[in-house]
Structure 1
Amino acid sequence: MSGTDEDTVAAEDALYVLTAVLLTPAQFPSALGDDYPEACASLGLPPLAEGYGLVFGQDGTGARWTVVVDDVSLVAVAIASWDCGMEYDLSPDERSVVAGLPGWPLPVAVAAPGVPAPHDPAPEVAEGPALVPPDTSVWGAARRRLGADEIAVQWSTWREQIDDSQFTPRQEQDASARPSDVRRVLAEARAYVETPPPLGRVRSSFAPGEARTLRADGPGWSLVARTDDIAFVLLDDKPGEVLPVGRGPELPGLLEALDRMAVRPS
């Protein structure tokens, strides 16, 4: 092979990194599953306790690739730098690469300059079906979880829309007066305290003051709450609806118990 041919092959094999995300018990793309093991399974990965970093990029032909690495700290530093508007050259060591998966499991809004438009690798190169993002064009589990994530991030905006007078005195004093869907979700969340669910199904993250933001998911439902405030529930069978849950007599204790057993970012 001539030097020119070798250079061409090397250029085609090079990965142009576009972005990255963490896949850990405390921080994983909720579009991929209700919990960490489910998210890992969607990529064909074992749910290692330390987690992974997912690096999204294109090769020299423009093909989409997801490089899975076990150097979580490296990817976390890159993401933090990018979030602060700083440049960071994310170049994982080959020894940290766990797998190279064709396609992207999440939408990526950017593309590498100077190479063809993003496309799935050829079947003979991919050695398997390419990853594709979950369909969020219609209401379903992925969109429901993403909706709960949005509320967690935009908590103040959503909270300002809630008039506490809608929580009737009876609902605040008698949990049985809550809507049946809400009672079911709270009961299933309460069961997590007695029987721990799969890792990552309950997650706790930073909130202003001494509060914590809680995210919990279950079969057909998502819950987002502040430990010092109310909660919101989203359901697969109620497309687009967000159900506010007043504190009442049992919510504060439930949120505290969930926070104690939740996984947290390290």
Structure 2
Amino acid sequence: MAGTDDAVVTGDDALYVLTAILLTPAKFPSVLGDDYPEACAALGLAPLADGYGLVLGQDAEGARWTVVVDDVSLVAVAIASWDCGMEYELSPDEDSMVAALPGWPLALAVAAPGIPEPHDPEPGPDGADTAPLTPPDTATWGPAQRRLGADEIALQWAAWREQIDDEQFAATTDGATAEADGDGDGDTAESAGTGGHKGVQRVLAEVRGYVDTPPPLGRVRSAFASGDARTLRADGPGWSMVARTDDIAFVLLDDEPGEVLPVGRGPELPGLLEALDKMAVRPV
């Protein structure tokens, strides 16, 4: 998290930096969309190949602003420094600024001290200003919450994986699985008899289609995992999948609120994950 003493000058105003986010094909806030172009569209941005950095903060009046810059490396260094507990003054050059958008695309639990509480900027006198960005609704199950759930599984893979007993998998020809233990509240890994689960079958078919016909950029991403393994993330209309190249996969569906469906390796999943990893975008 940035120090709130950092300030970015935008025109005549200073922005007190609260945090920053990468918006690139390999790393973007998945809550904004299933792929990189969709996430960019949520902010009204063109999907540049190199991506953007998003700097979130407040002006002197406390208004929320998101400054978009094309100096991705600078923002990446700042984020890495903050993650390591180091101070870093994020001050993008004015020439790198692409846009200053009112509002925040994500919810923040922090605020700059000594100025009014965060609020959306007042509209201009002609009322033609851009509508403020607002975080996606995650109060009820839907695409945004489904993607956030997949994010959590990727971050806490070991905790989710230990809930699955491999002996419970009844492997089928497509690698889908039998039911896993769960209490039905969505807090544990569950499966609704996925050996014949139509939703899982549909997801696996669509993922296979990605191998033959590449989907929009960022819809399949590969990240580091332990050892030589990779963590794979794939999304599509109404579904998300998280997998480890050396292990199983988990599927989440818009149509099944709170359900997490494990998919055993079976005879086909290893080859499918290997093919996905070869075509996936990776962090630079």
TM-score tier by shorter-chain length is over 0.9
Residues 202 and 215 of structure 1 are in contact (CA less than 8 Å); yes or no, is this contact kept in structure 2?
A: yes
Over aligned residues, Cα RMSD in angstroms? 1.6
1 CA distance for matches of 2:243 and 2:136? 25
- Alignment partner of 1:132 out of 131, 134, 138: 134
Q: 1:175 to 1:73 in 2, by over 3 A?
A: closer
2 CA distance for matches of 1:201 and 1:21? 18
Instruction: Give the Å deviation of 1:175.
Output: 4.8
Instruction: Give the Å deviation of 1:129.
Output: 0.5
Which residue number corresponds to residue 35 of structure 1?
A: 35
Instruction: Give the Å deviation of 1:114.
Output: 0.7
Count the aligned residue pairs.
Answer: 255
Instruction: Give the Å deviation of 1:128.
Output: 1.5
Residues 105 and 136 of structure 2 are in contact (CA less than 8 Å); yes or no, is this contact kept in structure 1?
A: yes
Aligned-partner SS, 1:123? coil
Could you tell me which runs of 5 or more consecutive residues in structure 1 were left unpaired when the two chains were aligned. Answer: 1-9
Aligned-partner SS, 1:14? strand
Instruction: Give the Å deviation of 1:178.
Output: 3.7
2 CA distance for matches of 1:116 and 1:43? 25
Aligned-partner SS, 1:265? coil
Which AA in structure 1 matches 2:124?
E
Residues 214 and 226 of structure 1 are in contact (CA less than 8 Å); yes or no, is this contact kept in structure 2?
A: yes
Q: What's the TM-score once normalised by structure 1's chain length?
A: 0.93
Which AA in structure 2 matches 1:167?
F
Residue deviations 1:54-104 (CA, integer Å, cap 9, x gap): 000000000000000000000000000000011111111100000000000
Q: What's the TM-score once normalised by structure 2's chain length?
A: 0.87
- Alignment partner of 1:205 out of 205, 223, 241: 223
1:243 equivalent to 2:261? Answer yes
Q: 1:55 to 1:104 in 2, by over 3 A?
A: same
Residues 232 and 244 of structure 2 are in contact (CA less than 8 Å); yes or no, is this contact kept in structure 1?
A: yes
Identity of aligned residues (%): 77
Which AA in structure 1 matches 2:49?
A
Which AA in structure 2 matches 1:129?
A
Aligned pairs for 1:1-266 within 5 A:
13-124=13-124, 127-168=129-170, 171-173=171-173, 175=175, 177-266=195-284
2 CA distance for matches of 1:174 and 1:101? 46
Instruction: Give the Å deviation of 1:239.
Output: 0.2
